Structure 1
């Protein structure tokens, strides 16, 4: 039986939470630790570091609205998940539990507190997420991707370390690819993504923007676009009519390599996407998801916009005409694209996995 110390990682079952957990797991394994992942059932579709025998599914539920019945159901699920996580921690005896946000982290981190197991939470957003905010008071240490996230809360700032967002090996490999701005007459590569499930707004706006481009630019364009299955036929019809070279898919398993291979990216601004754009160093047009309570995507996009590594466009202003104008201006100014790529890269942290592993080892007293 392997006697190496175990670190239990807890993350929601989406890429934005799982990918930093994977990156930390890779670094911890290099250092001689064992790792396991506590998460929800969505992660069973995940095909990265964590194989099924390394995953423990813990029941959890997101708080949705204020309906008393819904709140009661959520509370019962979280209590059940906490009991399962409590037994899991007592059986596995991890030296630390590290949470990466999302409601599936609540049961393992609460159970870690009940068992007096050292606890670290990591937040990749420019504002602390709701689950992490709940857990922050009783965390042994807090790691943030960006500086200043908790500066206004002295009680939390004192145990906060800025480490960046840990990057999985595929991102680190993509970051080694230098940016080469397109010269006049050369192909112009455009990548459009909308998060792990795609985004309808991209299917609504991007085809019209492509149609508005000057034919000379459109002839140079090589487009790759993430499109939901239900939107694919109408989007494909526009591009076929225009005679456009376009690759459409509902999901890209090799997204880091695709980020590196393109000249400009149009995307939502989830924490993981913004961190990868910065680490790889690629110019972007970012459209924050509207309506979220924390406005985290708006703040995330602001990090690259303030650094002049990306453009932030609110969804209400994200029209086909506006997007066509921005794409045309950037395609005509390769030196500006190169400058944006360099500015984005200056924001990125390629050593975040190592820095977070240092913090976890310190908290675990290993």
Structure 2
């Protein structure tokens, strides 16, 4: 077994790759070698991933669709298992860490079958379907939240709460203190929705701001993520309303933008919730209605329960409702300060280090067997 080599496995989306990236940096800082196993979606991203090598593993999602598609997905996962068996045999890692998504199933399962210590990390407030399959075979289940639906009974004994690892730009942004909104000051609003959620923000936020009084609109400065096909119509509304706005399909410095905000309107993916807490910013969260198992709703509740966020279910996320929420905050800016303090209290800035401690511990224990 190669001393000091850790294989990370993550689905090819930011929600899985970002915490894996944070752990990779923490492990590298300890002198450990990191490899990444992922799927074809992350091949381009993986080139920038802090790993010595990225391995593309065949995978598929065996849910929904026709029986034929289910069989095809199963066959693809079987190919991934064989490829992972071979990869782990060649690399002989000290441990394998999975971050969820079906691309993690073959590497983590192969590790368990080979006797290599395996840890899974669940970022959401609900145990995901891939992690649900892997949990009985994992040595430990690291979680982003203390209470995770689906982690109970025998699995509860394996749980270790680490928080959700965040990237260095988030930690850098967290050093920026919240600037209280003065009674007549400019409210800096940051709006984003992620790859699956930006459309609804383009549909709801501009007409919501249009419903505000002219005086209130004059107190806004907006940063909004919008899809390419929505850019023109969103920008046109803000120009017509005279609202200072920066609209783009992508902001490479989003953590810094969040740090400058008085209020964030966003979906409630695990990474978003973790970043809002570490940076410490008030939010209005709109859980993705079609998220599997209601994980985004469970994530949002963690901030709402402490007064750090207002959660609006998607059917209730209307221009009228959002306009009312923003107007209320303009009238009572002290509420934003209280929400910012509450969010900050829930942040776990050292989550990557906590998870790295577990990885080192389990890898060392595995080598003594």
Tell me if both proteins adopt one fold, taking TM over 0.5 as the criterion: yes
* Residue matched to 1:218: 217
2:8 corresponds to:
9
Please give the alpha-carbon distance, in whole angstroms, between the structure 1 residues aligned to 2:56 and 2:41: 9
Question: 1:44: which partner in 2?
Answer: 43
Confirm or deny: 8 A CA contact 2:24 2:51 kept in the other structure: no
Identify the residue that residue 274 of structure 1 maps to in structure 2. 273
Contact kept in structure 2, 1:200 and 1:228, CA below 8 Å:
yes
Residue 191 (str. 1) matches residue 187 (str. 2): no
Aligned CA distance change for structure 1 residues 276 and 338 (closer, same or farther; 3 Å): same
Q: Deviations over 1:219-274 (max 9, x none)?
A: 12111111011111221221121122111111222111111111100000001100
Residue 320 of structure 1: aligned partner? 319
Instruction: Indicate the SS of the match to 2:8.
Output: strand
After TM superposition, the structure 1 = structure 2 runs for residues 280-299 of structure 1, keeping only pairs within 5 Å, are 280-299=279-298
Question: SS at the partner of 1:199?
Answer: helix
Greater Cα shift, 81-90 or 297-306: 81-90
| Whole-angstrom CA distance in 2 between matches of 1:10 and 1:199 | 27
SS of equivalent residue, structure 2 residue 194: coil
Native 8 Å contact 1:24 1:166 kept in 2: yes
Whole-Å separation in 2 of the counterparts to 1:192 and 1:198:
11
Matches within 5 A, 1:135-174: 135-149=134-148, 153-174=152-173
CA shift in 2, pair 1:307/1:54, >3 Å: same
When normalised by structure 2's length, the TM-score is 0.95
Quickly say closer, same or farther: Cα 1:353–1:53, change in 2 above 3 A.
closer
Structure 1 residue 300: Cα displacement: 0.6
8 A Cα contact 1:36 1:50, kept in partner: no
Structure 2 spans left out of the alignment, 5+ residues = none
Distance in structure 1 (CA, Å) of the matches to 2:149 and 2:360: 22
State yes or no: 1:59 paired with 2:58.
Answer: yes
State the partner residue of 1:205: 204
TM-score (norm 1): 0.96
3-state secondary structure, aligned to 1:223:
strand
Distance 2:261 2:124 in 1: 24
SS state at 1:146 partner: coil
- Distance change in 2, residues 1:263/1:347 (3 Å): same
Contact map agreement 2:60 2:103 (CA 8 A) in 1:
yes
Q: Which residue is equivalent to 2:99?
A: 100
Shift of residue 53, structure 1, vs aligned partner: 5.7
Instruction: Note the C-alpha offset of 1:46.
Output: 2.1
- Does the alignment pair 1:28 with 2:27? yes
Distance in 2, matches of 1:52 and 1:136, equals: 25
Moved more, 19-28 or 3-12: 3-12
Deviation at 1:291, TM superposition (A): 2.8
Q: CA RMSD in A?
A: 1.6
Q: Which residue of 1 aligns with 2:357?
A: 358
Secondary structure of 1:365 counterpart: helix
The 1-side partners of 2:134 and 2:194 are apart by: 26
Counterpart contact for 1:269–1:287, Cα < 8 Å:
yes
Counterpart-to-counterpart distance in 2, 1:194 and 1:100: 22
- What does residue 305 of structure 1 align with? 304
Contact 1:44–1:52 (8 Å) recurs in 2: no
How many residues align? The count is: 364
- Give the aligned partner of residue 119 of structure 1: 118
3-state DSSP class of the match of 1:295?
A: helix
CA distance in 2, matches of 1:345, 1:217: 27
Q: What's the offset of the Cα at 1:119?
A: 0.2
Q: Is the 8 A contact 1:163 1:355 kept in 2?
A: yes
